[in-house]
Amino acid sequence: MLNIAVCVSGGGTNLQAILDGIEQGEITNTRVAAVISNNPGAYALERAENHGIEGVCISPKQFPDRESFNRAFLEKLDSYQVDLVVLAGFLVVLPESMIQKYRNRIINIHPSLIPSFCGTGYYGLKVHEGALARGVKVTGATVHFVDEGTDTGPIILQQPVMVEQEDTPETLQRRVMEQAEWKILPRAIDLIARGKVRVEDGKVVILEQPKRRKL
């Protein structure tokens, strides 16, 4: 059984996709041990509660300095003894000690096709504003392992989404969620739970043939 913690900051629609995926059997052999938020008002905490999952809030604002927050955050996370940490819209920079300790055991969902529209300053709606400002015709989402850089870790899955002429950042964000994020994040967790994801030379190898679509 893959024991996971999901870290969130906001609405938690990706968390919801994970909870639904587990309930509907699309994610196998997986259990959410805890949902951790840095934001006490995050609706994601309510989603966790609705599913009988422990939701905890731990915010840098509760601590005198970043160092003590980092220590407390890692201690809290360690207490759940998870196999995988899922960043589902978590807008806090992770302590380096955590990245080292959980090497290739932290994944993140990012709402663009990395390496486009990623890195410092690209989060949430800003990613879609950037895509529309550049006039790209295709965007999408990426699930990747987290390393010391910002959005630089090994890519696990990507899903493209077409940009439409009349898109606003909000409509594009919604379509990227529906057509990409809520699909590839549960799929990546299921692949990891089934032992189908390996990192070799800094790249991900998926040990399973993708399902072929009929032409």
d(CA 44, CA 28): 22
Beta strand 155-162 with 203-206 is unpaired
Contact call for residue 37 and ligand GAR (CB under 6 A): no
Query: Which of residues 19 and 127 has its CB atom nearest to ligand GAR in the complex?
Result: 127
Contact call for residue 153 and ligand GAR (CB under 6 A): no
Contact call for residue 144 and ligand GAR (CB under 6 A): no
Query: Which of residues 111 and 186 has its CB atom nearest to ligand GAR in the complex?
Result: 111
Q: Annotate 110-162 with DSSP letters as a single string.
A: ESS-TTSS-STT--THHHHHHHHHHT-SEEEEEEEE--SSSS-SPEEEEEEEE
Query: Which of residues 104 and 150 has its CB atom nearest to ligand GAR in the complex?
Result: 150
Contact call for residue 161 and ligand GAR (CB under 6 A): no
Let me know: does 132 contact 117? Beta carbons within 8 Å. no
Sign of the CA dihedral with 51 first, then 7, 107, and 175 last: positive
Question: How many residues line the site for ligand GAR (CB under 6 A)?
Answer: 17
Q: Answer yes or no: 110 catalytic.
A: yes
**Which listed residue (51, 110, 128, 144) is catalytic?**
110
Residue indicated by tokens 């990623």 = 118
Rule CB under 6 A: which residues touch ligand GAR?
Answer: 8, 10-14, 44, 88-89, 109-111, 123-124, 127, 177, 181
Residues designated as active site: 110
